Structure 1
């Protein structure tokens, strides 16, 4: 439930108002005629949707002198007033908390990192709420209220109830995260899977802007996938859509923490690669940087581990493209540090598994710092605040 001051109302949350706001957020500034064209709303519907958002200051109108028609006044551009509200976004990993203070256009104003030495909720949650309080003090310096808090966690997350059902890297089960953090901070809280949160940010502000269908594949500690279908971020009936890391591509392959064998994650995620490198070399390799050094040094056994990982990722991407037919697949995540070792395997396996014209899908890489994952969490808070939840 959103809180308001006596003199400030929350924005309108009609579907048309939400559509207009997100269109201006991603593509603006825009004239009203351009908003109507992009949203397929009538000019009257656009005017009706814009008015309440302007009344509370989330949209503003500027004169575009360069768009003067042959007759009449110049066109007015509608844009989001980025400084009108602030949001906190937090990504929790197995060893740190990354937090950002972002404005209404999801520009990062402040970023913070806090190391974790204990993954138990009893240790993580006090550190998280202390970090939120620190950012609330930072927000006071901008003279703008924080209107929402987004939390992003890996694994099976129930966004509707704000519950972390199971996070393998944190080893959390059935944690009512939204309730706990909301009570501690007094903020409206949105909790989501970290890859879906990052997908929202890519849809609104990144490589997915303007695309109705795309997939975001993340490689690193796990293998994740966010899906946008017909302009909507998909979470599925049970909240686990896009889990390509748990496609079993080799039933006789290594065991996965999910209980199956030969999952993509059991072959291509960082822990699997480290295990394979140790088996290939007999060395006690413990970090991705050590494994990369051996691979770049030319060790054939280590390079084969990365080649198998690339093949698994490529086959998984081929499956996504065959089933959904996206316009683009974006590959991101900390695992991109090894992309030169993955690339050939991904490319060849994708080409072999993509059916027909599905192989024409644009597959691109997009390195993103960890702050972008926290920014994704902030984007979900903005999404909830403006009433534009597209799941």
Structure 2
């Protein structure tokens, strides 16, 4: 065939995308034909291949305007259909001489090449889409890093100043109203610091390889857990927190991280339990494992909530005074995973219990 082309055929244009011209047909890449003068326009409508061996002997095309206008006797055109079913155009060829085209070898070859072209076009579109998504993700990553920097510096510094000022105020000779206001400021700054810590850990974990820990072979966990209880007791002075500790063996762990985990669990237990009920803390260590249980009375956690409890930004039923981002339990579970341990929950109508289990490697 003297002239072959990949044509983009739309409802108003016929445009050459690629061309092989050995008969000086004179149509370069980007060249156009008037749509109504082409057989491809008809193929666009019925999306079936058209094959002509000899125009003058073909009953359907001997009087057709297109062969007369462009001076060809043999013709083949196969539709190019994209993966999504859209019609792109045609793979077509013409020659001023007759040719034997109506045979499985020729039509099969043209069909195969049309399919390959469609596959290539789909691949190019997917690459362009992927590149766009990558650029968007890179832009989001930059914003995320800036966000972390703001949290880590621009928010924490003034927050530390607020917390320190509240502590200094509480030591002055204030009246009852002043003491109450100073306590509100102190408690609020404590909770805000916890939110910032959780957001930093969440962002760092998602950007890197999870939450990093630094183990200490003989971590004094009992002391650290009591410190967390004391801090929580200042925020909930009227609450009863029962401690049942039995540390018989040093714990090889990151004490700061486990204290953070415990603080999240204890804060939840105090938030989601009746004010007149105790929160029971049980912890023990042996030569083989460390276990921590935080139990409280309150509403049973619904089954649907249990399934996503340790996922980020997932929260249970929230009362008006219970605020947060839903990251505490996710970060607690990540800390457990970093210690190669597990954090599990059981909930009944009588009580809810979060259990941390860290086995020691032999």
Considering only CA atoms, is the larger Rg found in Structure 1 or Structure 2? 2
Same fold (TM over 0.5): no
- Identify which of structures 1 and 2 has the higher relative contact order when contacts are C-alpha pairs closer than 8 Å and 6+ apart: 1
Normalising by structure 2, we get a TM-score of 0.24
- TM-score, length basis structure 1: 0.23
